Amino acid sequence: MLNPTRTPRPRLTARIFLYGMADVFGLFCVAIGASWFAAGRAPFWPVSRVDRRSRRLHGGRRRGDAVGGVAHPA
């Protein structure tokens, strides 16, 4: 028996299914890219090389990291 207080559930159409698959694929690409960037193997983003060089020049510190126990303003 149908519940009269609840709206009926929409049907899964091909269009909705394709949008869902595109969304899952996009999230998968973002996750792979983020893990590659975090590992320092980002071939598509030269930012990774700039970040590694910056850390090497500044002794592994980033802007805003505490130096000598004093936090620098960002």
Q: What is the pLDDT of residues 5-43, one digit of tens each?
A: 888 888 999 999 999 999 999 999 999 888 887 777 766
Angle at 57 between CA 52 and CA 62, to 5 degrees: 65
Q: What is the pLDDT of residue 44?
A: 57
Nearest to 26 by CA among 37, 34, 14: 34
pLDDT of residue 5: 85
Tokens standing for residue 15: 């269009």
Q: CA 71: distance to chain centroid?
A: 27
